[in-house]
Amino acid sequence: MHGKEIALEKLRAYKSDYDHVFILGDCTNDSASFMVDVLDCFPNAYIIPGNNEDTNVLEILYKAMQYAHEKRFELKERYNIVGFGFSNPTPFHTPGELEDDEIYSKLIKLNINEKTILLVHAPPYGVLDEIKGIHIGSKAIRKIVEEKQPYIVFCAHLHEVIGVEKLEKTLIVKVPAAMFLKFCICEIKNNTICIQFKEMQP
């Protein structure tokens, strides 16, 4: 959302329509009050930080009911949710950047399996991560996906790219930025995944 009030306002109309809500970081840059509003609106969302949230925003985010960074949650549908926020280094030197070695060392400790819905901020390297011919995704996240083969990976970070691709057996979903009044719906039924990209009404 990147602090866009209009995005949060529009999303309020949809929040009761779904079993689970995932928020993949960069809700705001430095507005603690906006972060509070997001958590008030979506108290049960599984949420991870992006690369833009600064320290005062992270302090609020840590208190979220389902703060998912480096955590695993079991779902009654036999799936599980694992989250990992932040991003690999960017040219902008934002607050939430980690070296790929550190990302891998933390991710490998998490219990990721073929029933995992993996929530990450950065996309895996080489998959839905290209800007002007340059791949900017995380090599660590790609390595984890190749090794663990989670069921689905939801990622964010790039504003310019949305879409769905396969990496090995894993479905990679690059969600749109809500600041552009777009969001993504995932329906899992009889082990079949349906992804829809939606635009909010202006």
Query: For residue 136, is pLDDT > 90?
Result: yes
pLDDT above 90 as % of the chain: 94
pLDDT value of position 200: 92
Q: What mean pLDDT comes out for the span 21-47?
A: 96
pLDDT value of position 144: 98
Structural domains in the chain? 5-199 (3.60.21.10)
pLDDT in tens, 138-194: 999 999 999 999 999 999 999 999 999 999 999 999 999 999 999 999 999 988 999
pLDDT in tens, 60-88: 999 999 999 999 999 988 999 999 999 99
**DSSP labels, 105-144:** HHHTTS---TTEEEEESSPBTTSS-EETTEE-SBHHHHHH
* 25 and 75 Cβ atoms separated by less than 8 Å: no
Classify 5 in phi/psi space as left (phi over 0), alpha (psi -120 to 50) or beta: alpha
pLDDT value of position 15: 83
Rounded to the nearest 10°, the torsion over CA 69, 74, 75, 79 is 90
pTM: 0.97
Q: What mean pLDDT comes out for the span 90-105?
A: 97
How, if at all, do strands 170-174 and 182-189 pair? Answer: unpaired
Q: Which two tokens stand for residue 112?
A: 């990721």
Selection from 155, 98, 93 nearest residue 124 by Cα: 155
- Specify the higher pLDDT residue, 29 or 86: 86
pLDDT value of position 77: 82
pLDDT in tens, 3-28: 999 999 999 988 888 999 999 999 99
Work out the pLDDT band at 201, boundaries 50, 70, 90: confident
Rounded to the nearest 10°, the torsion over CA 120, 56, 4, 25 is 0
The Cα–Cα gap between 99 and 70 comes to 16
The Cα–Cα gap between 144 and 104 comes to 7
